[in-house]
Every structure is written in C-alpha cells, then in structure tokens.
Chain A
C-alpha cells in the first residue's frame, strides 16, 4: 500500500496505488434541497446507457429516499455497521478508512450485495414512519423527515473499485478523472462490486463483465453535461471540474461551492475514496444523521445555505444550475446578471438573479382565443 493525501479527511492515508491526480477532475454538485424524486435522471440514464440485456436491474443513476431507501438494499448502513464507529476530530478524520480497515486477504473493506438486494428500488421507502402529535407545527429540522438522495458514481480520486480489481481492468482517465471499467479486459470477478462502497459498479450477467457510470464521457468530451444533469427537472445538478483545495478558483463554480463557500460536501468522506459528487445537504433533516453522511461540514453548509437568499453571489450561482446543456467551467456575477463562461471567459449562458414576471392578457388576439390555465 502507498501513502496518499486525501484532502476531504485532511490527512494522509493508505491506498493500493500511489497518488496520481488527473489533469482535471470531473465533479458535480447536487442540491438535495431541490430534488423532487421525479426520477427523470434515472430514466435519462437508463434509456441512454442501460437498456441492454443483462442491464435490466442496473440503475447507474438512482434516487432513493433517506433514511429508509437504499439501492441496493442497505448499501450504506451495511458498510457503516461493518466499519464500526469512527471518529472525526475537527475537520480531520481520525478513524480508519475502508483501505485501512481492509480484512485479511482483501484490498478494501467491502460487502457483496445479493441479487435480491437490487430487486425493489424505491418500494415503500417514503412512507412516513413517525407519528405527528396533534397540534404539532412545522419545525426545522422536521420531526418526521426524509430527503431524496440522487446518486451516481462519484468518480472517486481513490476509487475502491479500481483498487480492488486484481487485473487492473478499471482505470481512471488521466485527462478528466473519469473512472471506467475496460470492457475488453474485465473478466467479471465482481471484486469491484464488493469494494465500491457506493455500490455503483454492476455485474452484467449477460456479458459476464462489470459495468458502471461513464459520466457520459462522449458528451463531456464535447463540452456537454451528462444526461442525468441536463434532464434534471429540479435543476439540482451542475457538472464541472473540482480542484485541490490549494488550487481552488473563485471563478470555477464547483470550486466556489465546494472549497470557497464549503456549501457542497462529499458523500461519506470518512470512507476515504475522495468522492467527487458534492451535495448541498438538506436543511430539514437532523444534523447528526447528516454529519454521518456528509462529514463535519454539515452545520456550516446548512447555515450558509439558509442565508443564501441574502447573498447575491451564492444565490446567483445557484441560478446557473440547469440553465444550459454545456459544462460551465467559469462564472461571474455582474449586478443582477450571472454569466456562465468557458475557460477563455467567453459567455456560454446568462441568467438573471430574478426571473422576469410576464403577465399575459386573458385574450389571445393573434389566435382569437381565450387563454386558460387548465391543464
């Protein structure tokens, strides 16, 4: 095992390979507060990539209701249980990562789902399990709560899947950090399925190989955001590139949200993979639950988010989510306008802080009809 630096846990850790960061790292910010669980993302991915034989059960993108929704069943709690209680000290993780806690004969601490664990995604998971007292009124955090967690592969800096493959069939692209299973080399050992803590590699029984989210690289290579981003009804997603903290740029939207404002947090950073999908935590769920899932930055992130409406930069940048199919690597605000730009500063899109309100007259003169709002 080599020693590598993981900025999300603010320390060095053991990893199967030495530190080798890509020229730039694909990353995303998901604003959980805006997700409506419409599953449009799930279907956008499904129709694009996993409509083949043997892919029937696969959801490279899935949306589950926390705390009782899982795909596959128990993916997070099983592992938390296996790893046992661990400790953060300030922003530094003092416990053991999945690489450091690997059992004898293994490269990564993991567990293997059975096929039945994939069988019933979303069924019954958002039934309210708590009773609300008569006369109760809404508080934040809510007394009975759930939230929607949209998940894709995190294209981790230190992928568990990659570390676990004895054949080196999984690789991280040096140009953009996308993690791929080489379909010509994989022999279907399913070690990666066991090792990925997020359970985002899937065994295809008809090809006999493991398959996973490819971050829509053919789109990304032409400057477009992946399918689950551009089809997102709630406009909760933004794709881009994340820097190391020491190289963070204020004009990079992802860096701004992750590093500068510390609003978007990694998923289970304590596991040690440096995952690259960053979540704006839901403001209405209990903090302790969220801290287990997103690390010690939750309190500050929620505080920042709740004040965002008074913060023109932050509120403005959040307006850029879902505003264009293109990847927006740079941004700036000028008064009431937010600009999404390419790397050379050329404008890709502009959005106003506040959408203009247009009231149409009741009668459409051009067509000679009365306008109605009937659905």
Chain B
C-alpha cells in the first residue's frame, strides 16, 4: 500500500516537472488531452473528432541508432484522442504530398504509430522502442495494408499493371481452385505467409500490435487488439488508431505516449523515421 502511494507521488512529481518544462513556450496543449465520449469515432474523418483538442506533436529525426534518418521530413503530426472508458482512439493527421501505398522493391509505405509503455511505472523506459526488460507497446498503421483492405487484389498485376505471368505452379490444371492442395502448393512459394508473417497480402486489419524492448527487438504481439483505418486527406494522411486503454491510463488517467511517422517517398522505413520523445497524455477530467 505504502509502495503504491510513494509510486503515485513520484508519478505526480514527474508530471509536475513535465508540465512545467514540457512543450514549446506559448504552444497550446502541452499534453495530449483525451476527450471522453460515449461512442468512439467510427473513422479518421468522423465529425466527432472535433470534440477533442488537438495536440501538435513536433517530430524529431530518429538519429540515435543505425540505420538512422539523416534528412528530416515530416515535421509535425496533429493528434486527437478520445476514450469511451475502455478503449482509446487516436486521430493522427499529417502532411504528405505523395500517396505511397504500393509495396515494391525500392518503394516504401507511408505509415504511423503510437507507442505506450507497458505496465504502470513511476518512470518510463527509453522513448526509442523501450529497453530490455521494460517493454513498450506499439500500434502501427501502414498505407500498404490499408490499400489491401480497401480492395487492392492480391496479385502482382495490382502492383505492376503491365505484368504478364506465364504460369504459377499452384495454378496448374491438376490443382482445383480453392482446394487444400492448391493452398499448400502456394504456401510453398510464400514462406513468410506460411509462417503467419503477413507483411503484405490479404489482411484483417490495417493496424498491428507490436511489442519492443529496445531498438531491433520489435515483435508482433500475441493478441492483436488494435484496429483502425486511414484515408488520404487534402494534403496528407488522416489515420485513426483504436486500441484498449493502456494499464497506466486506466489506473491513473495519465501516462506517457510517443508518436512516429514514416514518409514512404523519402525512403523511410523501420528505424528510419520521424518520431517524438515521450509526450504526457491525460484523460479529460469529468464523468
């Protein structure tokens, strides 16, 4: 009991510290305020988002670990957040001149992510993907996945309309369409899919839950709880990511969060990204 009280005290102190020196001087909300709602918005363009205050997160280069990003690209992501008490939804809005949602050699996808520390702890792990023994959980949205969900066929001609293909062994006349044998033959030539590592192709969600304990340790979480969708706005992307409230947010109504944005056209992928440090996040006071 005492330990819990002390821990809460430390959290409060840290937050005071964060509130007093966090955020550029004069800038409106210096933390992400999560608006309460009975029903979470249905998508990134839902009118309900206007009830949530905008937090403008300034993005920094990931220049701590190789491979690093050398040239800054996206400088800002506007964030809104809403909760219904059990789930939290984010709207991420950023400027990006090009739509990059086709997977191909030498091409990269636009993407964004939110990161939260796992568990309730007085201090947070390193903002760069956590640290050994101190995990972070990440909800990651990718434009190529969105395009798949929006109906891009699982066919090379959807990527290269001019492609001609002589023959795939799994389309041999002896293998009935839809048969087990045909699926097995196809899996033989798609080892990643056969292992359940569906980085492209038919997907159930455009958002993936990941865990990390430091750079290079990113792993798909066992339970996939995040969902969401993205759409092109007039000048960039508008994405909604929806996931269960983190432990810290449920217990304290406060916590820390970080954001990242990848611009495919700038060759950004993996560690080459624009990101924030930890940003305080608090659920709006009230009912």
Contacts and interface: CB of A to CB of B under 8 A. Distances in A.
Nearest to A168: B216
A146 interface: no
B73 to A, nearest CB: 14
A189 B269 contact: yes
29 contacts: A51-B169, A53-B154, A53-B168, A54-B190, A56-B163, A56-B165, A57-B105, A113-B105, A115-B107, A166-B65, A166-B66, A166-B215, A166-B271, A167-B270, A183-B195, A183-B197, A184-B195, A184-B196, A186-B199, A190-B105, A190-B106, A191-B67, A203-B105, A203-B106, A205-B102, A207-B192, A207-B199, A208-B201, A209-B197
Interface in A44-69: 47, 49-57
Contacts of B102: 205
Interface in A173-211: 183-191, 193, 202-209, 211
A208 B103 contact: yes
A52 to B, nearest CB: 3
Interface string B120-155: 000000000000000000000000100000000011
B35 to A, nearest CB: 33
Count class of interface residues, chain B: 35 or more
Interface in A16-72: 47, 49-57
A106 B66 contact: yes
B270 A191 contact: yes
**For the complex, would chain A's binding face be called helix, strand, loop or mixed by DSSP majority?**
loop
B67 A202 contact: no
Interface of A: 47, 49-57, 104-107, 112-115, 118, 164, 166-168, 183-191, 193, 202-209, 211
A51 B66 contact: no
Contact of B104 (A164, A183, A203, A211): A203
B156 interface: yes
A184 B216 CA distance: 15
A118 B160 CA distance: 13
Given A107-B67, A189-B269, A202 B105 contact: yes
Contacts of B108: 190
Nearest to B165: A56
Contacts of A202: 105
What are the 6 closest A-B residue pairs judged by CB atoms, nearest first? A52-B189, A208-B199, A208-B200, A105-B68, A189-B270, A207-B192
A49 B196 CA distance: 19
